[in-house]
């Protein structure tokens, strides 16, 4: 990397010999790569506008599993440094969808101005507006790394930027750094809000909506159960007699049963192999993200079953037959209560049908690629 020369008006900007600052987005496969490619379309113009003075930026996306087999920050930093040493990049920003930890805190981003590189953990940005937040974070990081020298010698270079980033994404705050570490600036999240932010980001990385097509056999069993239950006169009578509170209890119970069955049957529950408090907290975070991921997927399936059952009931039910069986006339609300109750019954049938799915298929639907690799690595280490 070649740095420009300082002038009296502003800080030095890292730039190549051609006058263009080359930025590499080193992204884990899957979601981080998608986010990086989205950034690459808009980041050069945003950086040029923010930096001023006719600066130009060239953004490249490199999709590589640089976190494979490890969550150790020093190892990841060394990998990023080695990967960029033989390239023409001026700035390297690595993106991963794994939650990373530093001194008991959840890492957001760490920077090394000396080596022009940074590591960003996407889950710490939360599950909402992830692309916008990631773009804002990378923009601030690149501008900080591209201007590593302060205009005044007494001003530490690592603190002259990123204040806007930390302020916008509260509760993010500066984190501790060891004397032997490569990084010179680190931001972390902590506390209940930070925990919820990371948890939401982990669920977002797992993409729970992928669970729906991943449970094809369970959905087939649920649809078959719902079709049979819709034409069962006993189900008609029960749905007519049940109160709203009992229908809610039936829904919650069936959804909880489905979630529990999937987690237990597919061995999704993670057990800590260490007894340290930090490892227990990390394990609890992973298990909470698993339950939420599966729960959201099951709720989406439940809503779909309700719609299918409602259409099926509207097509099949006859008011005279219904009245002869239940002793009450068929009203419009009866279609709704019947489809609601049948969805609960069908969800239980789907839980039984999920036993036909392979554990690998369920894990592939419930986890991101990085999380699948992490769990395979832990399983191999535990087996050894």
Query: What three-state secondary structure class fits 183?
Result: coil
Give the Cα separation of 248 and 236 in Å (integer). Answer: 17
Give the Cα separation of 213 and 117 in Å (integer). Answer: 39
Instruction: Using CB atoms within 10 Å of the CB of residue 9, give its burial: 0 to 12 exposed, 13 to 18 middle, 19+ buried.
Output: exposed
Mean pLDDT across 11-23? 63
- pLDDT top residue among 278 and 124: 124
As beta bridge partners, residue 111 has 118, 185
DSSP string, 291-311: HHHHHHHHHHHHHHHHHHHHH
- Fold classification of 20-148+157-190 is Collagenase (Catalytic Domain) (3.40.390)
pLDDT, residue 5, reads: 33
pLDDT, residue 38, reads: 93
Give the Cα separation of 18 and 16 in Å (integer). Answer: 5
Any idea of the CA torsion for 373, 375, 380, 384, to the nearest 10 degrees? 150
pLDDT in tens, 215-260: 777 888 888 888 888 888 888 888 888 899 999 999 999 999 988 8
CB–CB of 276/288 below 8 Å?
no
Closest CA to 121 of 159, 152, 93, 155: 93
Kindly indicate the confidence band of residue 1, based on its pLDDT and cuts at 50, 70 and 90.
very low
pLDDT, residue 23, reads: 94
Give the Cα separation of 174 and 163 in Å (integer). Answer: 10
Give the Cα separation of 373 and 69 in Å (integer). Answer: 7
DSSP state, 323?
A: H
Mean pLDDT across 307-332? 81
Domain map of the chain by residue range? 20-148+157-190, 207-381
pLDDT in tens, 285-295: 888 988 998 89
Give the Cα separation of 292 and 355 in Å (integer). Answer: 20
Query: At CA 105, angle to CA 114 and CA 260, rounded to 5?
Result: 130
DSSP state, 208?
A: G
């Amino acid at each position: 990397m070649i740095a420009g020369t300082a002038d009296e008006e502003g800080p030095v900007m890292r730039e190549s010999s051609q006058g263009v600052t080359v930025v590499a987005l080193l992204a884990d496969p899957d979601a981080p790569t998608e986010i990086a490619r989205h950034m690459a379309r808009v980041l050069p113009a945003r950086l040029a506008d923010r930096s001023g003075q006719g600066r130009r930026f060239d953004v490249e996306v490199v999709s590589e599993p640089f976190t494979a087999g490890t969550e150790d920050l020093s190892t990841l930093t060394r990998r990023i440094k080695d990967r960029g040493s033989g390239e023409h990049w001026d700035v390297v920003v690595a993106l991963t969808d794994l939650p990373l930890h530093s001194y008991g805190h959840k890492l957001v981003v760490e920077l090394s101005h000396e080596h022009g590189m940074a590591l960003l953990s996407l889950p710490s940005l939360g599950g909402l507006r992830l692309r916008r937040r990631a773009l804002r974070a990378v923009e601030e990081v690149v501008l900080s790394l591209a201007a590593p020298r302060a205009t005044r010698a007494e001003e530490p270079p690592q603190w002259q930027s990123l204040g806007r980033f930390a302020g916008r994404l509260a509760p993010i705050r500066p984190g501790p750094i060891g004397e032997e570490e490569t990084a010179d600036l680190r931001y972390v999240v902590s506390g209940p809000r930070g925990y919820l932010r990371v948890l939401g980001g982990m669920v977002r990385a797992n993409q729970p909506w992928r669970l729906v097509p991943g449970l094809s056999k369970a959905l087939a069993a649920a649809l078959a159960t719902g079709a049979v239950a819709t034409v069962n006169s006993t189900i008609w009578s029960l749905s007519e007699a049940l109160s709203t509170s009992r229908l809610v209890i039936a829904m919650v119970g069936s959804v909880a049963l489905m979630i529990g069955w999937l987690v237990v049957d597919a061995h999704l529950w993670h057990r800590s192999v260490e007894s340290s408090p930090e490892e227990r907290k990390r394990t609890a975070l992973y298990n909470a993200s698993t339950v939420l991921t599966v729960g959201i997927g099951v709720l989406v399936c439940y809503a779909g079953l309700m719609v299918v059952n409602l259409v099926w009931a509207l097509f099949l039910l006859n008011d005279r037959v219904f009245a002869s069986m239940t002793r009450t006339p068929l009203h419009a609300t009866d279609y709704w209560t019947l489809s609601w109750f049948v969805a609960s019954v069908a969800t239980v049938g789907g839980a039984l049908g999920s036993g036909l799915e392979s554990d690998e298929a369920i894990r592939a639907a419930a986890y991101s690629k990085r999380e699948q690799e992490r769990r395979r690595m832990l399983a191999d280490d535990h087996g050894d």
